Amino acid sequence: MIEPGSPAPPFTLPDQDGNRVSLADFEGQTVVLVFYPADFSPVCTDQLSVYQEVLPQLEEEGARLVGISVDGAFCHKAFQQHHGIGIALLADFHPKGEVAKAYGVWSEDHGVAGRALAMVGPDGVVTWSYLSPPLEIPGANLIFDALEQRTPA
């Protein structure tokens, strides 16, 4: 897992609508990259639903959330619509898992990203990261705690 203090590896991936989204698009903002294994799996569905519930509070704290998995854009769109998810979902589809590998959260055994969070500060440096044990949902409290630990600008 990428360590805090590391420069965040740049990326450009399609979102659920086919738009190209780059890490550089968030320059000057705090972004939380939410790596997860797969759309429609029970644990991932619960995880993203929890984050959706507290999204207004996270945004109030100055954080943007972006989900990343190896599912394709069409699958992301169906997942969003079915579960009412407003968080942008990026397709780390081809080359499969390239961004997950760059952030050190790729599971070669399963062919998916591990469940992990990486907070990237306004300067493009990772300020916090968390790799979840299998089948454990990293609660939103972890993100709120990490946001609280930021040094004021």
Residues labelled catalytic: 44
> How far apart are the C-alpha atoms of 142 and 139, rounded to whole Å?
6
- Quote the tokens at residue 23: 């890490």
Alpha-carbon span 109 to 107, nearest angstrom: 5
Alpha carbon distance, N-terminus to C-terminus of the chain:
26
Q: Are 7 and 39 in contact (CB under 8 A)?
A: no
How many Å apart are CA 125 and CA 100, to the nearest integer?
A: 16
CA atoms within 13 Å, Cβ hemisphere of 6: 14
